[in-house]
Structure 1
Amino acid sequence: MSDTPAPGADSNSVVLRVKSSSNANALAAAVSHAVYDGKDVSLRAIGAGAVNQAVKALAIAQSFVASRAISLSFRAGFSEAKMPEGNVTAMVLKVLVD
């Protein structure tokens, strides 16, 4: 997991890069704390294992924020990511706070 500002994004947004080896609980805590701080949160995952960890983390984050009467959902989308081996498609999960 890596906390990276999105290109052209303001300081109120956070993009968390997710790997298949990311700890879902740690990622959920990062999402929860960003939500508590009022930030716009997105998770970027490349590959099936990374998408799996991202979705698990969002389910766990929902349980973390529920005690504060916050409800989370997400909207899935795609983006291009530049990698040393060329451009790859990444799944982006935009966290929505209800």
Structure 2
Amino acid sequence: MEVLKVASNSNPNKVAGALAGVIREKGKAELQAIGAGAVNQAVKAIAIARGYLAPSGINLVCVPAFAEVQINGETRTAIKFIVFPKD
């Protein structure tokens, strides 16, 4: 599954475009965010991507979960959003 990493300074419109492209191409994607600002940008991007895909009849579902990631040898807790079309 394609993993898109989102930072607090990520542009939600650009992330949404990338997310919509991955959904169209691969069928599902994962957004990964560490910190409140990054989670905020990820949620905005999911909402924007839903607007991009809705005219094509694709309705997105988002499942949030925790993930442990290694950054510079340190374990951090991230929020991951698994995004896929609703059946």
Task: Tell me, yes or no, whether TM beats 0.5.
Answer: yes
Corresponding position of 1:97: 85
Moved over 3 A (4+): none
| SS across alignment from 1:37 | helix
Q: Does 1:27 align with 2:15?
A: yes
- Using the size of structure 2 for normalisation, the TM-score is 0.94
User: Where do 5+ consecutive residues of structure 1 fail to align?
Assistant: 1-12
Residue of 1, 9, 17 corresponding to 2:5: 17
Task: Please say if residues 14 and 39 of structure 1, whose CA atoms lie closer than 8 Å, have aligned partners that are also in contact.
Answer: no
Structure 2 distance, partners of 1:18, 1:97, is 20
SS at match of 2:26: coil
Aligned to 1:72: 60
- Residue of structure 1 equivalent to 2:37: 49
**Taking structure 1 as the reference length, what is the TM-score of the superposition?**
0.84
- CA deviations on 1:19-67 (whole Å, 9 max, x unpaired) are 0000000000001011111342000000000000000000000000011
Bigger helix share: 2
Unpaired segments of 5 or more residues in structure 2?
none
Letter in 2 for 1:36: R
Structure 1 vs Structure 2: percent identity of aligned residues?
40
Query: Residue type of the partner of 2:36?
Result: A
Letter in 2 for 1:89: T
Higher relative contact order (CA 8 A, sep 6+): 2
